[in-house]
Amino acid sequence: MPLSEPSAPAVLAALPRALSLAAAAVAAATATLLLISAVFSTPHHAASSSSPQLSPSASASTAAPVAPAPAHAPDSGPGHPHPPPPVPPCPPNATHDVPCHEPPSRERHCPPRPPPPPPLLPHPPKDPPPHPPPHCRVPPPPRYRPPPPWPARRDRARYANVDLPPLPPVKAADGQQQDPVHGRGEWLLFTDGVQGYVERLERVVPLRDGVVHTALDIGCGVASFGDYLLNYGVLTMSIAPRDRFEPQVQLALERGLPAMIGALVAHRLPYPSRSFDMVHCADCRVPWTAHDGLYMLEIDRLLQPGGYWVFSKPPVNWKSTYNISNQGTIDKQDNQVAMDDMSKRLRWTKVSEEGTISVWRKPSCNLHCDQEANAKLAGLPPLCTGEDPDSAWYANISMCMTCIPRAETFNGCAGGAMKKWPKRLGAVPPRIASGEIEWLSIQRYRYDTLVWEKRVNFYLTYLNFLSNGTYRNVMDMSAGSGGFAAAMSKHPVWVMNVVPANTTENALGVIYERGLIGTYTDWCEAFSTYPRTYDLIHGNGIFSSHIHKCGIIDILVEMDRILRPGGAVIVRDRADVVLRVKKDADRLRWHSRVVDTENGPLDPEKLLIVDNSLPLPGS
């Protein structure tokens, strides 16, 4: 339903008359669409609908072995075209395929799209052209089993599910300072190895009072830092590059912790400016002082005004004794001096330096962004002018300092003061209150929030596992201003709010100001995650907005890759689009059905519900 500027009561008051005038037309259009769908249905689909339902262990990725389609089938007669064949499985070595993050590159790079399949010929050649199929389903590992419900999965993961070599029955902790992991039987067990570290950090960073709520952990290991911060109510986006020997992000997501593949190389990280209350690096192997402090400029872009930058690794407190090979005291001193110098140029305040932990704070006001003041301050990095600070999809890191908005008062916070969590979730975000986002008014934002509360309550009719921890990792493929995630916050889930790249209505900054997390992506490419990492995927209008950019089956195959076996999908779109999605979803052997929305049969939108863990209501 398109959003409008009038208030919610006015819109609802006008709705009955509009519906009465359009009821006949909408009903006729819906009937026509259903008739078209019936005409193009085949005995193959009929047989599928009458087949036994999937068992609870069946899944979107392992519903049934996919047999290769016959090279040529007898003609079904006029008016009965051949149904598209099922999508075949990928080769077994594609079990952990991440298309846009193949080593040795640490940065995202997507391969060219595969060639289209050859046309069907009456007599196909004996030797077909040697190119891979345009689409295939990533198979799970042979011993794959779904993760346990939350919070049990927080402390363990099945090592057969992740890209690791087989472990012996017992493996001791590796003894490293962070993220100790050991295997016992079929499980990888995660211990609280960072408890003391976080407790030391709490002395200088306000982790408990709701001031710090969103954090970014660069080089996250298995996300033990982000896991422990959950005890403080802090939501952490954990990122690490893909590593064939240490699938850190895959392990984090198996644990039910927010994570995605990412690294600081040449491009900006795919998040808007002023996103995080805290950015953390502990031995993250980033050369912070290289390239004239380029990566520290990116951290400055990502930090909220008043946000904290936490760095833990030699050369911090370089006068202490470290047992590190190939690094002398002189090198450590030079690096420390370079970091301190760059932080001063950024006007960060050093809050603490204790042991191996050093903490800086970004200024809350925008005095250093004043053009006159900037000209008088020697050595200050140049200001970024003429570019969008929120543009972060394949955008290079700029050798300039992102200017934060002007504070309303001398002691005020640039861009507007942020509410403490959890009040932040329901408050009007500063980007909206200040009018920074012209297309999203306060009235429209509040109306959108009410609409999504109603929609999510209706979704509970079909998804019975939102409250028991079965669904933990949730993705919203077209998040808007975060209304779906806000309505889901009452359940034990976290939501990856995805804003399609290059959209004209970019509200990812608003999502972060609500205390939620998310990223940019292009849904005609692969998402930056491992296979089988999300339990529930929600797509509102994603197919109608991409139907002229890439095929429906292209997006569905990528959804199938990142959806765990036994997972669920909700597609919300125009009725004609949903029916097309349903036909392609059948090629993936998804257990799906088309249903009305919460507004009833006259709503021009429909829902496609995919639940491969339980029979659907009424089926």
Lowest mean pLDDT among 81-85, 432-436, 534-538: 81-85
Q: Is residue 405 very low, low, confident or very high in pLDDT (cuts 50, 70, 90)?
A: confident
CA proximity to 449, closest of 419, 488, 492, 487: 487
The single-letter DSSP state of residue 383 is B
Distances (CA, A) of 392 to 14, 278, 305, 437, 508: 40, 19, 19, 17, 11
Residue 180 has what pLDDT?
43
Residue 119 has what pLDDT?
52
Which pLDDT tens digit goes with each residue over 292-333? 999 999 999 999 999 999 998 754 443 443 343 444 444 566
Distances (CA, A) of 476 to 126, 158, 302, 523, 540: 45, 26, 22, 12, 8
Residue 243 has what pLDDT?
82
Residue 475 has what pLDDT?
99
Half-sphere exposure of 224 (CA within 13 A, CB side): 21
The residues that bridge with 571 in the sheet, in sequence order, are 539, 608
In the chain, the percentage of residues whose pLDDT exceeds 90 is: 59
State how far Cα 47 lies from the chain centre.
Answer: 36
Which range scores top for mean pLDDT: 52-56, 246-250, 604-608? Answer: 604-608
* Torsion sign (Cα): 306, 309, 315, 318: positive
Which pLDDT tens digit goes with each residue over 563-575? 999 999 999 999 9
Q: Work out the average pLDDT over 127-152.
A: 80
Lowest mean pLDDT among 27-41, 62-76, 229-243, 514-528: 62-76
Assess contact for 504 and 437: CB atoms under 8 A.
Answer: no
Lowest mean pLDDT among 159-173, 348-362, 412-426, 579-593: 159-173
Q: Work out the average pLDDT over 402-413.
A: 68
User: Domains of the chain (ranges plus CATH)?
Assistant: 26-40+423-611 (3.40.50.150), 152-376 (3.40.50.150)
Lowest mean pLDDT among 8-12, 215-219, 278-282, 557-561: 8-12
Q: Work out the average pLDDT over 441-468.
A: 94
Assess contact for 565 and 146: CB atoms under 8 A.
Answer: yes
Residue 46 has what pLDDT?
35
Element (H, E) at 448: helix 442-459
What is the residue-averaged pLDDT of the chain?
Answer: 80
Q: Work out the average pLDDT over 413-420.
A: 77
Residue 8 has what pLDDT?
45
Which pLDDT tens digit goes with each residue over 1-50? 443 444 444 444 444 444 444 444 444 455 444 434 443 443 333 333 33
Residue 415 has what pLDDT?
63
Assess contact for 472 and 535: CB atoms under 8 A.
Answer: yes
Residue 283 has what pLDDT?
85
Q: What are phi and psi of 327, to 5 degrees?
A: -145, 110
Instruction: Decide which of 335 and 97 is more confident.
Output: 97
Residue 313 has what pLDDT?
73
